[in-house]
């Protein structure tokens, strides 16, 4: 079974701004998909980034998923987890540098990796640091 890195994002609105910022962070324009669950995606050659504007995840392992409107998945085509994590951290850091989003980075929704502080007025909270690598 493959493991993926997930980045939860708040606010997820306006969607155009999120896609523009995420495209910049990925270095490639994300495109709309016809998938029932994936709203936008990009192929980075060795990995995919897939955006969902909404989700039904609730708090698990101390991570408050429900506080985040949107998420994106980083999926390495060869299941190279270290390379996938490096890419996820790079995109996470670039988005964080904009100061517009509260972010939560996890491995397979089970392991907390990193979070940004909450952005005032957005209603999102950062995850716990108890499992931080």
Model pLDDT for residues 41-63, shown as the tens digit of each residue: 999 999 999 999 999 999 888 89
Q: Within 10 Å of residue 40's Cβ, how many Cβ atoms?
A: 21
Query: What is the value of pTM for the model shown?
Result: 0.88
Q: Within 10 Å of residue 95's Cβ, how many Cβ atoms?
A: 22
Residues in the chain: 133
Residue 126: pLDDT band with limits 50, 70, 90: very low
Residues 6+ apart with CB under 8 A from 133: 113
What confidence tens digit (pLDDT) does each residue in 17-29 have? 999 999 999 999 9
């Amino acid at each position: 079974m493959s493991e993926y890195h997930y980045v939860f994002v708040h606010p997820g609105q306006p969607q155009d701004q999120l896609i523009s910022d995420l495209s910049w962070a990925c270095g490639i324009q994300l495109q709309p998909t016809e998938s029932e669950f994936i709203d936008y995606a990009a192929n980075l050659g060795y990995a995919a980034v897939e955006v969902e504007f909404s989700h039904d995840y609730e708090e698990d392992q101390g991570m408050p998923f429900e506080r985040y409107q949107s998420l994106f998945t980083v999926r390495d085509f060869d299941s190279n987890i270290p390379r996938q994590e490096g890419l996820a951290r790079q995109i996470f850091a670039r988005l964080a540098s904009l100061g517009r989003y509260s972010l939560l980075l996890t491995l397979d929704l089970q392991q907390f990796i990193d979070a940004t502080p909450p952005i005032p007025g957005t209603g999102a909270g950062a995850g716990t640091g108890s499992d931080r690598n």
